Structure 1
Amino acid sequence: MRILFTCGGTAGHVNPALALAGYFQSKHPGCEILFVGAERGLEKDLIPKAGYPFRTVHISSFHRSVKPSELKHNLISVCNLIRAPREANAILKEFQPDYVVGTGGYASFPLVKAAARHGIPTAVHESNMVPGLTTKMLEPYADRVMVGFEACRQHYQHPEKVVVTGTPVRGDFFALSHLEAREKLGLTGERKLIVSFWGSLGAGEMNRQMVDFLAIEASREPFYHIHGAGKSGYPRMQELLRQRGVDLKQHPALQLKEYIYDMSVVMRAADLVICRSGASTISELTALGVPAIMVPSPNVTNNHQEKNARVLEEHGGARVVLEKDSSGQVLFQEAAAILHDEQKRLSMARSMGELGILDATERIYQTILAIDQ
C-alpha cells in the first residue's frame, strides 16, 4: 500500500497527517508513505524530522494588497499555479499512490486535484470549523471531506461527501489521568490549575495582558498558573513583571515558561485553559474535556479562529473574549468566575468533552479505506 499525504503551512495541518501516517504504518507494516508540501512551508522541517520522505511543489498563496512587493508575490503565485500541476502529475506518476490525503494548506490543492483526475481515491481533512479556501476549491474533486464536528457539515456544498471524523490528538495526552498529571507536576491540595499560552500570531499583546493577570494573581495566589510565553515573549514578560515589582521566585504557584515542553501532562492537569482557538488546540481541549477561555487571533485568514471558538461557546464548553475587549483584568475575572463556581466549571468540562472524538485517527483511517470499496 502506498499513501501520499499532502499538507502544509501550519503545524495544525502537518500534525494530523503525521499521526495518520504512523497509524497506517502500524496497521500495514511495510506501507509506503510520501509527504508532499510547499518548498518554503513549515512542513519542510517537521516532516523530515519525523523520518518520512518529502517532496515539494512550487505553490504559494495570494495576498490581498496592491503594494508593489505584494503584487510581485502574487505574480510569482500565478506562475506557481501554472507550474504546480505538472509537478504534481510527475510525483503521482513516480510514486503511484493508492490513496492521496490532504490535511490542509494550499500545497494540498495541486496533488489532490491531480489525483482525482487520475482516478486515485482522494480525501481531504479540514480541521477548522469553517472550510478554508483550499478545502472549498477541492470539495468538488475529493471523494470524501473529513471534518471535526457535525456542525461543520452545513458549510459544504456537497454534504453527502462529508464524514465527521474528528481531528487526531497525540496519544500521550491520554497517558495520565487528571490526578496523575497533577501529581507529576507536584501540585497539591485543592487549588485549581490555569494553563495559558498564545500562538505566534499576536502573542506580544496577549503576553502583555498576561503580565497584568500574573500581577493580580501574585497579590492573592488563588490558583496554580503555568504560562507559556514563547521564545520572544519570555524575556519581555520577565522584564515587565520586574517593572511591576513581581518576583515569581516568591510565588511558586505561578510559573512563567519560555515553552511548555510537557504540554500533554500540563494540559491533562489543567482545570482551565486560556488560549487562542486554533484547530489543533480545539481538538486537544475537546478530547480532554477541559473548559477554556478563548481569545481568537484577529490576524488569521477568514476569521477562522473566532468561528472555531464560537462553536465551543455555543455548546457551553468555552467562554470567548475578543482581543479588542480583552485585558489582564477581564481575563482574570472570567477565570475566577469559572474556577470559583465548581458546578459551572464541571458543566463546561462536560460540554467540552461532548464535542471530543477520541477515536478520530481510526475513523479517518476507516473513511479512507472505504473510498474505493
Structure 2
Amino acid sequence: MKILLTCGGTAGHINPAVALARMFQERMEDSQVLFVGAKGGMEERLVPKEGFPLETVTISSFWRSLSPSSLRHNLRTLRNLSVSKKEAARILDGFQPDLVVGTGGYASYPVVHEAARRGIPTAVHESNAVPGLTTQRLAKVADRVMVGYEDSRQHYHHPDRVVVTGTPVRGEFFRLTRQQARDALGIRDDRPLVLSYWGSLGAEVMNGYMTDFIRRAVREGAPFHHIHGAGRNYGAMQKALAGVSLPPEIQLREYIYDMPTVMVAADLVLCRGGASTLSELTAIGKPAVIVPSPNVTNHHQEKNANVLARQGGAVVLLEPVCSGDTLYQTTQDLLAAPQRRQAMAQAMEKMGIPDAAEKIYETLLSLGNGKERAPSAGA
C-alpha cells in the first residue's frame, strides 16, 4: 500500500504523522510512505531526520486582520493556493497513493482536497478539540475525520464520518510506573513532584512567572520536588536566579529530554494547552494546571484546555491574569488535596485513548481497503 501523509507547521501536526508512518512500515512490509509538507516549514527538518522522504508545496496561512500587511500576506496566500494545487496534482500523479492522510497544517489542504476530487481514499486527523480552518474545509470532502475527543464530534457537519481515535502518544510514556520513574530521577523521599514547561521553545512571560515561583519555593524550603523546562529562555532565567541557591529538589533545565520519565513521575503538571501535550496527559492520567497560549490562532489552546476542565481533569488559568504567586498558590492548594488530584487524574484517564495509534491505523486500513468510503466524500 502507498500512503501519502501530509502535515506541517508544528510538531503537534508532524509527530502523529510520523507515528502512523512507523506503524504502517512495521505492520505492512511492502508499504511505501511519502510525506508532503509546506515549503519552508519545520517539516523540512523533522521529517527527513525521521528517515522519510518529503515533498513540499507552496502554501501559507491566512491572517485574521485587515491591516495593510495582512492584506498583502493574504493576497500572496491566494496566489499560493493556485500554485499549491498544481504542485499537489504533480505529487499525486508521481506517487499514485492508495491512501492520503492529513494530520494538520496548511499543507494538508491542497493535497487532501485534490486526492478527494480524484476519488482517492482520504482522511484527516484533528488533534485540537475544535477544528481549525483547514480541517473545517477538508471535513466536507474527506472520507473520514479522526478526532481526539468525543466532545469534538459536535463541530462537524457530517458526524457519520467522524471517528474518535485520540491522538498518538509515544510508547515511552507507558514503559514505567510512577515509582519506577521517580527512582530513575533519583527521588528518594515522599515529597510530590511538580513538572512545569511551556512548550519546546518555552515562553518568555510564563518563564518570568516561574522565576518568581521558584524563588518562593526556595524561600519556603522546597516543599515539593520541581523540574522546570525553560526552553530558549534558559539563559535569562539562570541570570534572574543568579542570587538564588537552588536546592537539589529544584531543577532548572533548558530542555527536558527525558519528558516521558518526568511526566510519568509527576504528581502535577503545569503546561500550555497544545493538543500533543494534552494527549500525553490524558493518556497517562496526570492532573494539570493549564495556561493556554494567547498567541494561537482561533484560541485553540484555550478551547482544548476547557474540554479537560469541564470534565474535571484540569485547572485553567489565563495568562493575562496569571502570576508567579497565582501559579504557586494553585500548585500548593492541589498538592494539599490528594483526593482532588486523584479525581482529576481519573477524569484525565477517562478522556485518554492510550491506543490511539492503533485505532487510527485500523480506521485507515479499512479505508484504504475500500471498506469504509463515504459515498459523498467527493462532493
TM-score interval, smaller chain? over 0.9
Q: What is the number of equivalent residue pairs in this alignment?
A: 368
- 1:367 corresponds to which of 358, 363, 366: 363
Structure 2 counterpart of 1:261: 257
CA contact 1:202–1:299 (8 Å) conserved in 2 = no
- CA distances 1:46-105 after superposition (whole Å, capped 9, x unpaired): 000000000001111122334444333222211111111111111111101010000001
CA contact 1:16–1:167 (8 Å) conserved in 2 = yes
- CA distances 1:152-187 after superposition (whole Å, capped 9, x unpaired): 001111111100000000011111111100000000
Separation in structure 2 between the aligned mates of residue 293 and residue 64 of structure 1, nearest angstrom: 29
Instruction: State the shift of 1:206 in Å.
Output: 0.3
1:330 counterpart SS class: helix
Amino acid at match of 1:226: I
1:183 counterpart SS class: helix
Structure 1 counterpart of 2:228: 227
Separation in structure 2 between the aligned mates of residue 347 and residue 325 of structure 1, nearest angstrom: 26
Amino acid at match of 2:60: S
Separation in structure 1 between the aligned mates of residue 140 and residue 196 of structure 2, nearest angstrom: 39
The 5 A counterparts of 1:7-26 are 7-26=7-26
Say if 2:155 is the partner of 1:159.
no
2:3 counterpart SS class: strand
2:231 counterpart SS class: coil
CA contact 1:3–1:33 (8 Å) conserved in 2 = yes
Instruction: State the shift of 1:340 in Å.
Output: 1.1
Amino acid at match of 1:247: S
Structure 1 counterpart of 2:59: 59
Structure 1 counterpart of 2:325: 329
Structure 2 counterpart of 1:213: 213
Structure 2 counterpart of 1:274: 270
Amino acid at match of 1:28: M
CA contact 1:225–1:254 (8 Å) conserved in 2 = yes
Separation in structure 2 between the aligned mates of residue 183 and residue 285 of structure 1, nearest angstrom: 20
CA spacing shift, 1:325–1:202, aligned 2, 3 Å: farther
Structure 2 counterpart of 1:31: 31
Larger displacement relative to structure 2 (74-83 or 124-133): 74-83
Structure 2 counterpart of 1:285: 281
Gaps of 5+ in 2: 372-379
Structure 1 counterpart of 2:169: 169
Structure 2 counterpart of 1:41: 41
TM-score normalised to structure 1 length: 0.97
Structure 2 counterpart of 1:294: 290
- CA distances 1:108-149 after superposition (whole Å, capped 9, x unpaired): 000100000111000000000000000001011100000001
Amino acid at match of 1:108: S
2:104 counterpart SS class: coil
Amino acid at match of 1:228: G
Structure 1 counterpart of 2:245: 247
Structure 1 counterpart of 2:338: 342
1:370 counterpart SS class: helix
- 2:350 corresponds to which of 349, 354, 373: 354
Separation in structure 1 between the aligned mates of residue 202 and residue 263 of structure 2, nearest angstrom: 22
Say if 2:183 is the partner of 1:187.
no
Separation in structure 1 between the aligned mates of residue 84 and residue 27 of structure 2, nearest angstrom: 32
Separation in structure 1 between the aligned mates of residue 236 and residue 26 of structure 2, nearest angstrom: 44
CA contact 1:202–1:297 (8 Å) conserved in 2 = no
CA spacing shift, 1:201–1:64, aligned 2, 3 Å: farther
Structure 2 counterpart of 1:122: 122
- CA distances 1:203-248 after superposition (whole Å, capped 9, x unpaired): 10000000010011001211000000002x1111111112xx3122
Gaps of 5+ in 1: none
1:194 counterpart SS class: strand
Amino acid at match of 2:229: G
Amino acid at match of 1:322: L
CA spacing shift, 1:23–1:269, aligned 2, 3 Å: same
Percent of aligned positions with the same letter in both sequences?
Answer: 59
1:73 counterpart SS class: helix
1:227 counterpart SS class: strand
Give RMSD over aligned pairs.
Answer: 1.1
1:209 counterpart SS class: helix
Separation in structure 2 between the aligned mates of residue 178 and residue 306 of structure 1, nearest angstrom: 28
Amino acid at match of 2:65: S
1:142 counterpart SS class: coil
Separation in structure 2 between the aligned mates of residue 202 and residue 317 of structure 1, nearest angstrom: 23
Amino acid at match of 1:159: P
Instruction: State the shift of 1:269 in Å.
Output: 0.7
